[in-house]
Structure 1
Amino acid sequence: MRRNLDSLAAFAVVAKERSFTRSAAGMGVSKSALSQTIRKLEEELGVRLLTRTTRGVGLTEAGRNLLQTVAPCLEEIETKVTTIMELREKPAGTLRLSAGEPAVHSIVYPVLRKLLPQYPDIRIEITTDYGLNDIVTGGYDGGIRLGKLISRDMIAVPIGPDIRMAVVGSPDYFGRHPIPETPQDLTLHNCIQLRYPSPTGMFIWAFGRGAERLELRVEGQIVVNSTALRMAAAIDGLGVAYMPEDQAIPEVAAGRLVRVLENWCPLGAGWHLYYPSRRNPSAAFGLFVNALRYRGGQQGGPA
């Protein structure tokens, strides 16, 4: 049967102090209330734990055995609780994050590079993937995804500007295939697909112009779940890729890629850090959120 930890803790204090008066004063309770707590514990266990005399309090054999058993456990619990409470005040401990690869490289890592040397007691564990993980059951403190992919029951903090997607292919590829004029023309092209856990299993290419909105499920010879491999395949002329504009622009400027359908790619919600609750965050997590928070052109900084 489960025992009340408060009763066991009260017994341990009295057993060590050998005095109900001193124990009650130290615990901030009345002597009679403490005596009643011990008496109830003895009744539940069916044995006498303490001997009370005019000279003080002694331990019975059962009391000595119980003290030897519970005292180390109670001390360990107190130590653990104290450590956890300190996390509210001192930035320390491990933060586990699930994040999309592009955001890790372009946003998260530059922040960590500055933050971690200042806070050596913080440890960051990042899992990079494209899955819409259940961060609660997965044991993550937070996740990083594009805003449109985040569940409405999560708290979402923007960590970057709005994003425009880009459709690109190599000059060689478009030398062998016609330039698409509309998103529907992509059905005639070899599209490099991104594997993404969703009802369709693939990342859907979304387009918009004015009030018109369109989502395409494209086809192609190559399916990847790596942004680096998607970029390499596009540069090597293996197909057309759909990627964040900031990744595509340097390759377009260098002449390795050609951008098409630009007027069909409106701005959309950028990268967000999301998590389930604002209640009692650790000092480390609060610091991390503040450092990542996007404030119209710049990241936040340490609190």
Structure 2
Amino acid sequence: MLRENITDLMSFVVVARVGSFTHAAAQIGVSQSALSHAIRGLESRLGVRLLTRTTRSVAPTSEGERVLSRIAPLLSQIEEELQGVIDMRDQLAGSFRITTSDHAADTLIWPRLAPLLQQYPDLKVELVNDYGLTDIVAEKFDAGVRLGEHLSDGMIAVRIGPDMRFLPVASPEYLDRHGIPDHPQALTEYSCINLRLPTHGGVYAWEFEKYGRELKVRVDGQLTFNNIYPVIRAALDGYGLAYVPEDLVEEPIKQGRLRAVLEDWCPPSAGYFLYYPHRRQDSRAFRVLVDALQYDPGQ
């Protein structure tokens, strides 16, 4: 009975304010006869007449005025509260944790994330730099970023970057002193700058491919780092060969500060993907975040 009364009371408020069943019916979106029937039903349940009807106008009775003065503000308050819930939804609030590499964070995530955070100030994102293959469910991350070849099974994966390739590079001075390797296996005779991956429990093996033949070469040298940027700096300073993403060394190569070797052994492979459990797509804020990070080949 409460639901029926609320619906009919809302109709009564509209009729009393506009003073016409015809105009009120058009405003509410029902037929005039249905509206008249609803008001009669409300009056019958309350046991009082709420409206005085004439051939020219409709006006509230004294009882109707009392209902209008007390009930209409309450109905307006309910509408305002419901609108507040909708507005809060539209503000797009939420907190998300993403594990990623510094390379992906700097070149792909941050350029797209920065304008999104300005647009939605109640959106919070924590980026955790991690070269390990973190279990995002066990470690309570909302999403992770990995190269396509390292994606976890059973996850939704969204491409956030183009295909990419890694290149061995060194300073011209180092190559002038030690010569240029003519085969990936020859790298074992050179001083190389290693990258340690925590999940693998050791240094990263450099990967090569040519004519369908794949090679993994474990190299050695004076220096090992756990993220990519010091590796590049060490190569620029002449400490040996480094195996790094091509996009990070394009400028030094153009400037002649680094030289790439064995390029014919370095085909491109799948780039970075954002991956996350199926349950995460239930959040509108998270879907907006994913859409912002998704790779658009046309851009």
CA distance in 2, matches of 1:231, 1:198: 22
Q: Secondary structure at the match of 2:203?
A: coil
Name the counterpart of 1:276.
Answer: 277
CA distance in 2, matches of 1:95, 1:110: 17
Are the counterparts in 2 of residues 95 and 125 from structure 1 also a CA contact under 8 Å?
A: yes
Name the aligned partner's letter for residue 105 of structure 1.
D
Q: Secondary structure at the match of 2:95?
A: strand
Name the counterpart of 1:147.
Answer: 148
* 1:219-257 residue CA offsets vs partner (Å, 9 max, x unmatched): 111110122211110000001000111111111111110
Q: CA deviation at 1:86?
A: 9.3
More helix by share: 2
CA distance in 1, matches of 2:200, 2:121: 41
CA distance in 2, matches of 1:250, 1:211: 30
Greater displacement, 221-230 / 100-109: 221-230
Q: CA deviation at 1:177?
A: 0.7
Name the aligned partner's letter for residue 115 of structure 1.
L
Q: CA deviation at 1:295?
A: 2.4
Q: RMSD of aligned C-alpha atoms? A: 2.4
Q: Secondary structure at the match of 2:186?
A: helix
TM-score, normalised by the number of residues in structure 2: 0.69
Identity, % of aligned pairs?
45
CA distance in 2, matches of 1:148, 1:235: 29
Q: Secondary structure at the match of 1:195?
A: strand
* 1:65-103 residue CA offsets vs partner (Å, 9 max, x unmatched): xxxxxxxxxxxxxxxxxxx99987652111111001101
CA distance in 2, matches of 1:204, 1:278: 35
Name the counterpart of 2:185.
Answer: 184
Name the counterpart of 2:291.
Answer: 290
Name the counterpart of 1:99.
Answer: 100
Name the counterpart of 2:246.
Answer: 245
Aligned positions of 1:69-108 closer than 5 A: 90-108=91-109
* 1:166-224 residue CA offsets vs partner (Å, 9 max, x unmatched): 11000111111120011001010111110102335222211011211111122111110
CA distance in 2, matches of 1:209, 1:280: 39
Name the counterpart of 1:213.
Answer: 214
Are the counterparts in 2 of residues 97 and 126 from structure 1 also a CA contact under 8 Å?
A: yes
**Shift in alpha-carbon separation, 1:282–1:187, aligned structure 2, 3 A:** same
Q: CA deviation at 1:105?
A: 0.4
Gaps of 5+ in 2: 7-84
CA distance in 2, matches of 1:279, 1:112: 18
Q: Secondary structure at the match of 1:198?
A: coil
Q: CA deviation at 1:149?
A: 1.4
**Shift in alpha-carbon separation, 1:263–1:107, aligned structure 2, 3 A:** same
CA distance in 2, matches of 1:156, 1:266: 22
Are the counterparts in 1 of residues 236 and 257 from structure 2 also a CA contact under 8 Å?
A: yes
Are the counterparts in 2 of residues 195 and 223 from structure 1 also a CA contact under 8 Å?
A: yes
Gaps of 5+ in 1: 1-20, 27-83, 299-303
CA distance in 1, matches of 2:114, 2:280: 27
